[in-house]
Amino acid sequence: MATLISRLPEGILIVDKSPAKTSFSLVSLLRKLSGQKKIGHAGTLDPFATGVMVLLLGSHYTRLSERFLHDDKEYAATVLLGIETDSFDCDGKILSQCDKIPSLEEIENILRTFQGEVWQTPPMFSAKKVDGKKLYELARQGKIIERKPVLVKMETTLLSYDYPYLRINVRCSKGTYIRSIAHDLGQMLGTGAHLSSLKRTRSGRFRLEQAVPQSLLEERKISWQDSLILFKDLHP
C-alpha cells in the first residue's frame, strides 16, 4: 500500500504587520498556521511600525531572503516636531522639547538635503552590529559609541505639514533608517523631532495592496494559502 507524503506549503506571503506587534510574532503565527518550520523574512519592522513584510515559507523560498533583503523600500512616515527622543522614535524617552514652529518654506528647503546619495549615521537604537555587539543592546546600557556614517540613497517627498506633524514619503535603499531622517530633520530645523508613525508601503516588487492584514490572519478570517505567491507568479 503506497504511503502518501504530505508536502508542507511553500511560497511568499506578503503581510501588513499590525502596530504593537514584533516582526517575529508574524513568523511564529505562520509556523502555527502552516506547520512549516522554515520561515524567513526580507526585512523586519519595529513594533510600532506597520506595513509590508515579506515572509518566505519553506527552504526553496528562504534561500531568496538575501536577494529580497537588498531590495529598495518605500515608507509613509509621520515626524513629530518639537520633541526629541533617545531612540529617535515614539518608543523612546523624551530628551528635549521645543516650541519653535518652522515655516513650510524652511521644511521644503531642508528636505532637499534628503535626496539622492546621503551619508547617514546609524542610530544607537538599531540592530546594527559594531564589534559583534548590537547597538541597541549598548544603548539600553546607557552607552553611546562612535558609528561610521553609511552612504544610502533616498528620495524624500513632502506629503503634508500641519504642525507639529510632518508627513513624508521616503523611497530608499537597504540600510536606510527613517528614524534617523526624522531626528536629523529636527536637528536641522532647530526643533528636535522623532518618528511618530511608520508604514512600509513597498518592499522591492511587493506592495501594500498585495498584503494580508496580520489581524485577519490571527483571527483566522482569511485564507493565507490563497495569498501565497509562487515562483511561477514572480515576474522579473
Question: How would DSSP label each residue in 51-76?
Answer: EEEEEEESHHHHTTHHHHHTS-EEEE
Contact 121, 146 (CB under 8 A): no
Instruction: State the virtual CA torsion across 27, 31, 33, 34 in degrees, nearest 10.
Output: 120
pLDDT score, position 2 = 41
pLDDT score, position 4 = 37
Query: What is residue 60's three-state secondary structure?
Result: helix
**Which one from 16, 46, 89, 184 is the annotated catalytic residue?**
46
For each of the chain's 236 residues, which pLDDT tens digit applies? 343 344 778 999 999 999 999 999 999 999 999 999 999 999 899 999 999 999 999 998 998 888 888 899 999 999 999 999 999 999 999 999 999 999 999 999 999 999 999 999 988 888 888 777 888 788 888 888 888 899 999 999 999 999 999 999 999 999 999 999 999 999 999 999 999 999 999 999 999 999 999 999 999 988 888 899 987 767 55
Instruction: State the virtual CA torsion across 13, 15, 21, 25 in degrees, nearest 10.
Output: -10
Residue 136 φ then ψ, to 5°? -65, -30
**Is 46 labeled as catalytic in the residue annotation?**
yes
| Domain ranges, ordered by start, for the chain | 11-70+204-233, 73-203
Give the separation between CA 42 and CA 72, rounded to whole angstroms. 11
Give the separation between CA 21 and CA 134, rounded to whole angstroms. 21
Give the separation between CA 102 and CA 33, rounded to whole angstroms. 49
pLDDT score, position 236 = 55
User: Regarding the domain delimited by 73-203, which CATH topology (the fold level of the hierarchy) does it fall under?
Assistant: Pseudouridine synthase (3.30.2350)
pLDDT score, position 1 = 39
pLDDT score, position 235 = 58
CATH superfamily for 11-70+204-233 is Pseudouridine synthase (3.30.2350.10)
| Cell numbers at 166, concatenated | 510632518
pLDDT score, position 233 = 64
